[in-house]
Amino acid sequence: MGLIDFDPGQFSARLVLEKPVETADGQGGATIGHEVVTSLWARIEPLSASVEDMAGAGRVTITHQVWLHSRADIAAGMRLGKGTRRFVIESARDPDETGRFLLCRCREEAQ
């Protein structure tokens, strides 16, 4: 596999990285919220959009690949935010195994 190289100007989306946080609900369960970890620069590329029929209503699923500078603290289940949009990280990998970039496959949450 060859080295991946980008013009630094392609990392033009300012995102926030959020991690899930459980809060006790007082009845033995928990609610899951999200806490901001940091902000970072990224490159977002839409991949696909599909429509599912659920209970007579169409539900659209949009997937993206998001390129980031390498970080050790990113894992599936975290999410990235851009304004009111949220991208749930489904997987993260080093695409050329050099430790420079992370390629995250994300699913955009419906608002």
| DSSP for 56-97, written as a single string | TEEEEEEEEEEEEE--SS--TT-EEEETTEEEEEEEEE-TTS
Classify domain 12-108 by CATH number: 2.40.10.270
What pTM value is reported for the model? 0.85
Express as a percent the part of the chain with pLDDT over 70.
95
Low-confidence ranges of the chain (pLDDT < 50): none
Per-chain mean pLDDT for the chain: 90
